[in-house]
Amino acid sequence: MTLPWQKTNATIHLHSDKASDAMNTPDSDKLGASLKEYYQRKSLSADSVERMLAQADSLKPTASLTMPWFRRPIAGLAWVASLLVVVVMAQFFYYQQSYQGDLTALVLKEIAMNHNKKLDAEYVETRPEILRVAMQRLDFPLNLPVDIQRDFQLVGGRYCSIQGGLAAQLKVRNRASGAVSTLYVTELTEKLTRIKEQHVLQGSVDIHLWQQQGRFFGLATDAALVGRDDSHSRK
């Protein structure tokens, strides 16, 4: 609705409501003319006008009301916060990955080193259940996976450690080739669960790592002997 006084300059006429005002005498016309002349003399300086016009041009509408939501200051903070979260998560996963890589490398190195020592078995026993009784410090069973039992003959065992955890270092002989391999068995700790099944050549040692029945296994064989149809190490 347009208010009565909302009219343009063009429609404004002095004393336009003469009938109703009843005070528009020639005297008041003269007073009005004088006042008009007085106020017409009052004006903003050219500099002030220029400055204000420039401000009107340069001033953008209030940010919070006109900017798209994703460009408002609070949204900007949210963007920064989200970015930080992403960066932190990326760093975390990168660290996890590299830690996992480091852990696998450490385990492989440990297994290869123990295998290369070619230490004799402290407990000579071909039956896993009997060996388990002999190695009473172990807190996990020594029953071997079916495919290992099928392909290898247990020779004996001794204590060792993998990443600080007590492990059994079993000497096994390949039933087909007669090559002696070292089978490492330890309890599957949370740390070791991060190591995925893999087949790696660590120096001159062929190593197969896997998890089975709540235990962690590592089978190390001299790489030179693997070529002789060692089916298990080529899984």
Partner 1 sequence: MNTDDSLEALLQSGFRYACSLTHQHAEAEDLVQEAWLKLARSKPQERHQSWNKSLFFVTLRNLYIDRYRRNRLVVLEPLDELSTRVELHDGPGNEQEIAMDVEWLERSLSILRVEEREAIYLHLVEGYTAAEVAELTERSRNTVLSLIQRGRKKLVNALSQDDAALAENKRYHSSTLRQSE
Which spans of this chain sit near partner 1 (rule: CB under 8 A)?
A: 3-9, 12-17, 20-21, 23, 25-28, 30-32, 34-36, 38-44, 48-49, 52-53, 55-56, 59, 61-62, 65-66
How are strands ordered across the β-sheet holding 205-212? 123-124, 152-162, 165-174, 180-187, 215-222, 205-212, 198-202
Angle at 234 between CA 232 and CA 235, to 5 degrees: 75
Residue 83 beta carbon to partner 1: minimum distance, rounded to whole angstroms = 30
Residue 39 beta carbon to partner 1: minimum distance, rounded to whole angstroms = 5
Rounded to an integer, what distance in angstroms lies between the CA atom of residue 219 and that of residue 199?
10
Residue 104 beta carbon to partner 1: minimum distance, rounded to whole angstroms = 60
Which C-beta is closer to partner 1: that of 34 or that of 97?
34
Which C-beta is closer to partner 1: that of 56 or that of 74?
56
Rounded to an integer, what distance in angstroms lies between the CA atom of residue 220 and that of residue 199?
10
Residue 194 beta carbon to partner 1: minimum distance, rounded to whole angstroms = 56
Which C-beta is closer to partner 1: that of 27 or that of 190?
27
Are the C-beta atoms of 126 and 170 separated by less than 8 Å?
no
Residue 42 beta carbon to partner 1: minimum distance, rounded to whole angstroms = 5
Rounded to an integer, what distance in angstroms lies between the CA atom of residue 160 and that of residue 127?
19
Residue 19 beta carbon to partner 1: minimum distance, rounded to whole angstroms = 10
Which C-beta is closer to partner 1: that of 36 or that of 150?
36
Rounded to an integer, what distance in angstroms lies between the CA atom of residue 221 and that of residue 153?
14
Which C-beta is closer to partner 1: that of 52 or that of 113?
52
Residue 72 beta carbon to partner 1: minimum distance, rounded to whole angstroms = 14
DSSP character at residue 120: P
Tokens of 78: 């949210």
Which C-beta is closer to partner 1: that of 48 or that of 97?
48
Rounded to an integer, what distance in angstroms lies between the CA atom of residue 184 and that of residue 19?
114
Which C-beta is closer to partner 1: that of 40 or that of 136?
40
Sequence-distant (≥ 6) Cβ neighbours of residue 229 within 8 angstroms: 176, 177
Rounded to an integer, what distance in angstroms lies between the CA atom of residue 126 and that of residue 193?
29
Q: For 125-138, b where at least 16 C-beta lie within 10 A, e where not — what string?
A: beebeebbeebeeb
